[in-house]
Amino acid sequence: MEEGVLDDNLNASVAHARGCFAGCTLCVPCGAAKPPHAHHCSACGACVAGMDHHCPFVNNCVG
């Protein structure tokens, strides 16, 4: 099974509390439900929807 993907044995109440249901992905570093095309930025410490890269010049994610 792919890392971060919920399996059928996961407690449904835990998945619901995290805003995620069977088949969606969870961010491994922060444990949040990730929308499609979101990535965790290690520089910002958060999941960013539509992230392309982290720009060190503006100290923000670009997407």
- Would you call 55 a catalytic residue per the annotation? yes
56 alpha-carbon distance from chain centroid:
21
Contact 28, 15 (CB under 8 A): no
Which position among 30, 41, 55, 61 bears the catalytic label?
55
Instruction: List the beta bridge partners of residue 25.
Output: 5, 34
Catalytic residue IDs: 55
